[in-house]
Amino acid sequence: MSAAQTPPLPAPPASSLAVTLQIVSIVFYTFIAFLCIGLPIAVIPGYVHDQLGFSAVVAGVTIGSQYLATLLSRPLAGRMADGIGTKRAIIYGLSGIALSGVLTLLATLLVSLPVTSLVILIIARIFLGVAQGLIGVGTISWCIGQVGTEHTARAISWNGIASYGAIAIGAPVGVVMIDQLGFDSLGITLAITASLALLLIRNKPSVPVIRGERLPFWSVFGTVAPYGLSLTLASIGYGTLTTFITLFYLSRGWHGAAYCLTVFGVCFILSRLIFINAISRFGGFTSAISCMAIETLGLVLLWLSPTTEIALIGAGLTGFGLSLVYPALGVEAIKQVPNSSRGAGLSAYAVFFDLALAIAGPVMGSIALGLGYAWIFFYAALLSLAGLSLTLWLARRARR
C-alpha cells in the first residue's frame, strides 16, 4: 500500500488532565450559577423578616420558591438541553439569572412598599430557580457530549464540586457584601456576574444536538426512577444534617455546629477529588454500595455521638460516603436512556435529589418533635440502609 493510501492513524485518547480541563471549562458556568444562588441565600431571610416585616414562615416561603421552581422546571430543562442544544440552554439560564438580579434590585429599591417588594422578590427567586435547572442539566449534558459517555461520572462529580464550592463561597461573601454595601448591591452583583458569563460563553464552541427520537419526560422518569429512589433514600441524610445539625448541637448543649458542616463539606469535596476515577474503575453500583455503607456508619455515629469529636467524625464519614452516591447511581441511570434524551434523563434523575431535600425538613422535623433531635440521624441511617438494599437489588438485576 502506498503512502497516499495509508489510512490515517486514530487520534490518541485524550489524557486524564485534558479531559478534566475540558470538563472544568464547562462546569465553570455551574460555578457562576451557584455563586449567584449562594450570594443571597443567607441574607434574603433577614431582608424579608427584618426589612419588610414579614414572618419567618414568609421568609422560608421566599427561599423555598426557588427550589420549587427548580423542581417544576426539570422537564423543561431536559427538553431544552436535548432539543435546542446544551449551550443555548445555559445561555437562557444565565439570562434568567441576569433578569433575577434586575428584579432583586427593583425589589430592594421598593422596600417602602413591603408587599410589592416581596412579590417582585419571589418572582426573582423563581427565575433563579428555573435558571438553576437549565444550567445544571445543560452543563453536565454538554460535558458528556464533549468528552464522551465514558466520562459521565467525572462530569457529574466536577459539576457537584463546582456547585457546592460556589455556594460555600457565595454565602459568606453575600453577608459581607450586604453589611458593607447594602441590599441594593445584591441585585447589581447578580446581574453583572451573569452578564459577564454571557459574554464569556459567546465564543465557546458547543456540541451538536444529538438527532434521534425524543422520549417523553415521564417515560424517561419511569426508566430512571429505581435509581433515583435509591438516590433519594441516601440523600435524605444530607438534607437532615444540613437542616438540623445546629438544633441538634443546641439540644446537646454543644457549641460549634458550623465546624460540623465544615467537616462534612471538606470530606465531601475531598472524596470527589481523590476518588473521582473509582466509578469508572469499579462501576457505578459497586461505588454507590460502598459509599452508602460509609454514609450509614456516619449517620449512626451522629445518632450515638456522646461528644462533639464523635459527631465530627460522623459528619465527616457522612460527607465522604454521600459524595459519590449521586454520580455513581447517575452513571447507571443515564445508561438506561438513549443519548438523544440524555438531557431528559439527567433532569429526571435530578428530581429525586430535589425530592430528598424537599421532604427531609418536614419529615425529620416531625421526628425531632416527637423523639428528639438525635433520632433524626437514626432514621436517616435507616433510609440510607434502605437505599443500599435497593442498590444491591438493582446491581443483581443488572448482572442477570
Q: Is 80 exceeded by the pLDDT of residue 126? A: yes
In a domain, 2, yes or no: no
Q: What is the pLDDT of residue 87?
A: 87
| Model confidence band, residue 270 (pLDDT cutoffs 50, 70, 90) | confident
4-18, 74-88, 311-325: which range is least confident on average?
Answer: 4-18
Quick one: 341 exposed, middle or buried, by C-beta within 10 A (0-12, 13-18, 19+)? buried
In a domain, 309, yes or no: yes
The more confident residue out of 388 and 77 is: 388
Same domain, 250 and 316: yes
Same domain, 107 and 230: no
Average pLDDT over residues 141-152: 81
The more confident residue out of 234 and 346 is: 234
Same domain, 264 and 230: yes
Q: What angle do CA 272, 225, 316 make, to 5 degrees?
A: 30
Find the CATH number of the domain harbouring 257: 1.20.1250.20
Same domain, 69 and 97: yes
- CA distances, 201 to each of 14, 139, 229 (Å): 23, 12, 35
Q: Which range marks the domain in which residue 99 is found? A: 16-201
Three-state SS string over 301-349 comes to HHHHCCCHHHHHHHHHHHHHHHCCHHHHHHHHHHCCCCHHHHHHHHHHH
Q: What is the pLDDT of residue 210?
A: 65
**Domain boundary pick from 167, 201, 235:** 201
Q: What is the pLDDT of residue 254?
A: 86
**Domain boundary pick from 201, 225, 260:** 201
Same domain, 181 and 234: no
**Domain boundary pick from 170, 201, 232:** 201
Q: What is the pLDDT of residue 14?
A: 55
Our count of domains for the chain comes to 2
Same domain, 222 and 298: yes
Average pLDDT over residues 172-192: 90
The more confident residue out of 59 and 381 is: 381
Same domain, 244 and 179: no
Which of 264-268, 298-302, 321-325, 331-335 shows the highest mean pLDDT? 298-302
- CA distances, 331 to each of 36, 248, 285, 363 (Å): 28, 34, 9, 29
Same domain, 260 and 189: no
Quick one: 309 exposed, middle or buried, by C-beta within 10 A (0-12, 13-18, 19+)? exposed
pLDDT tens-digit series, residues 204-256: 877 666 665 667 777 888 888 899 999 999 988 888 887 777 778 888 888 87
Grid cell in block for residue 181? 454595601
Average pLDDT over residues 95-105: 95
- CA distances, 145 to each of 57, 279, 340 (Å): 42, 19, 11
Q: Are 334 and 347 in contact (CB under 8 A)?
A: no
Q: What is the pLDDT of residue 102?
A: 96
In a domain, 206, yes or no: no
In a domain, 193, yes or no: yes
Q: What is the pLDDT of residue 331?
A: 85
Q: Is 50 exceeded by the pLDDT of residue 92? A: yes
164: closest CA among 33, 355, 58?
A: 33
Rg of the chain on CA atoms, in Å: 22
Q: Is 50 exceeded by the pLDDT of residue 61? A: yes
In a domain, 8, yes or no: no
The more confident residue out of 247 and 3 is: 247
282: closest CA among 153, 108, 155, 390?
A: 153
| Model confidence band, residue 266 (pLDDT cutoffs 50, 70, 90) | confident
In a domain, 7, yes or no: no
Same domain, 311 and 182: no
In a domain, 1, yes or no: no
Q: What is the pLDDT of residue 4?
A: 45
Cell numbers 431544552 correspond to 80
Same domain, 257 and 186: no
The more confident residue out of 29 and 163 is: 29
- CA distances, 244 to each of 63, 261, 385 (Å): 17, 11, 20
Same domain, 348 and 297: yes
**Distance separating alpha carbons of residues 215 and 77, to the nearest angstrom:** 14
pLDDT tens-digit series, residues 4-56: 444 443 444 456 778 888 888 888 999 999 899 888 877 887 788 888 888 76
Same domain, 179 and 281: no
194: closest CA among 96, 104, 108, 73?
A: 96
Q: What is the pLDDT of residue 297?
A: 95
Which of 263-267, 325-329, 351-355 shows the highest mean pLDDT? 325-329
In a domain, 337, yes or no: yes
The more confident residue out of 58 and 289 is: 289
